[in-house]
Amino acid sequence: MQKYLGVYNGKLLKEFEDLNDELHIAGYYRGMLHSVGIVKEALKAAKAFIEKIK
| Domain locations in the chain as residue ranges | 2-53
Are the C-beta atoms of 22 and 42 separated by less than 8 Å?
yes
- Predicted local confidence at residue 8, as pLDDT: 66
- Predicted local confidence at residue 6, as pLDDT: 56
Please, what are the averages of pLDDT over each run of 10 residues along the chain (54 residues)? 63 87 84 86 93 86
- Residue 26 to residue 13: CA distance in whole angstroms: 18
- Predicted local confidence at residue 53, as pLDDT: 83
Are the C-beta atoms of 9 and 49 separated by less than 8 Å?
no
What proportions of the chain, in percent to the nearest 5, are helix, strand and coil? 80, 0, 20
